Chains A and B, each alone.
Chain A
Amino acid sequence: MNLTLKIWRQKDSKTKGQMVDYKVTDISEHMSFLEMMDVLNEQLVNSGDEPVAFDHDCREGICGMCSMYINGEAHGPDRGITTCQLHMRMFNDGDTITIEPFRAKAFPVIKDLVVDRMSFERIQQAGGYISVNTSGNTQDANALPISKHAADEAMDAAACIGCGACVATCKNSSAMLFVGAKVAQYALLPQGQVEAADRVKNMVAQMDLEGFGNCTNTGACEVECPKGISLENIARMNREFLKASIKG
């Protein structure tokens, strides 16, 4: 198929960017979206132009790097996928596709479609872990009774790959689905409960500091999340935060 692409081009974080039109031809419907971008970049390199910079790594929906806002949706029109899992068969011959970087004050553009998501890392560093001594004398996890229900919910929350689609999608650029998933993942398990109060307070404080917006429960994040992270995680974070704040 033949396509027109409208792509955000920006030289670096300091330069103003703009949308630029490109044409690609003979795109197979079996290609992934990133393979289509590879075709475009090969074309640009061959004609001596600067290729479009975009993030990617695993190309199988695991790493969460492939941040693109395609036709007004994070990771494009399909559900439960990242950009690398988006197939060109979702589009039609002759389509015009708009491709933008994830937009949020806390995700500044580095170049073209590449954004800096270190704000997520800093939130993680503020409490998204358990302080466990791993020097060879750890308790066997099987010694701790955990209900199947809690284990399943924790596992579902842990599926978050930190891609940032929730932030990109949210009209408020809120990071609460991501932070909610990280908080819930530990709050549901005995190993995580020891530091639960400090964790939620520190992670929320860091989230606020980074300049993410405030959740207004539109639920857009849940729909666009490639890993099906549920709004229940935000509710759990809110409860954990209240509990931690009352404790002092």
Chain B
Amino acid sequence: MSGFFTSSIGRKYAMALSAFFLMFFLIMHVALNAVSLFSEDAFNQASHFMGTNPLIQFLMQPVLMLGVVFHFVMGFILEIKNRSARVVKYAKNNGAANSTWMSRNMIYSGLFILIFLVIHFLDFWIPEINTKYIVGDMSGLHDGSFRYFHELQHKFIPIWRVALYCIGFIFLALHLLHGFDSAFQSLGANNKYTKGLKGFGKAYAILIPLMFIIIALFHHFNH
């Protein structure tokens, strides 16, 4: 395997694998968030479990971090390399004639996702880490009852944050509209199932971000 990951194709595999990992994580994340639409109690229970289970906290969480960082750093590296492969640009280039906007602008949709992620971290992750590991309060309680649901509701009161989340997820949808199919192609999976998979990919790329948006709007209007 020596030299595999320094080759162009090896990098594609690495990019696709990190993307698959992120796409799988998104399903778990949206499923957990969706619980908050139906039951305050169940959402609290699930959040407390995710927030205190050592396997999730000390294995899955660092792996996820590494996965995200790897994905966007690799994305930037590939983008820089690819730009340098054409020194003189075309005076006239008609990209729309042969490819989708999404496929040509992964770096920009990705950049917006990254900006969203920074804000998302400041909103939820940093306060969690602070409460649990700096203050040292692992109880998940506030005034005698679980704090998670109320914190979530509270975050989605300001309309600016809801708007920001919606925009972030629209860019995620754009990223995934190309990314989902692209990841399969990168792994060499292009066969009789590809056509069907493309339909599924479209559904995934639109429905998952849409679900996040619905959840944010739901809590904005129901607090």
Contact = CB atoms under 8 A, between A and B. Distances in A.
**Interface of chain A, helix or strand or loop or mixed?**
mixed
Interface of A: 6, 8, 19, 69, 71-73, 77, 98, 100, 103-106, 109, 169, 171-174, 176, 204-205, 207-208, 211-220, 223-224, 231-232, 234-239, 241-242, 245-246, 248
Given A223-B98, A246-B1, A237 B9 contact: yes
Contact of B86 (A72, A105, A216, A220): A105
Contacts of A224: 98
Interface residues of B, number: 43
B8 A219 contact: no
Contacts of A248: 1
Contacts of A237: 9, 188
Contact of A219 (B1, B4, B81, B103): B103
B90 A72 contact: yes
Contacts of B3: 245
Given A71-B92, A73-B98, A248-B1, A216 B9 contact: no
A194 to B, nearest CB: 21
Q: Looking at A8, A205, A242, which has the most chain B CB atoms within 10 Å of its CB?
A: A242
A6 B91 CA distance: 10
B96 to A, nearest CB: 9
Given A173-B85, A218-B103, A219-B103, A103 B90 contact: yes
B9 A241 contact: yes
Interface string B69-101: 000000000100111111111111111011110
Contact of B8 (A104, A207, A217, A242): A207
Given A72-B97, A238-B188, A241-B7, 11 more contacts: A72-B92, A98-B92, A173-B85, A174-B85, A205-B7, A212-B8, A213-B82, A215-B8, A217-B185, A234-B185, A241-B10
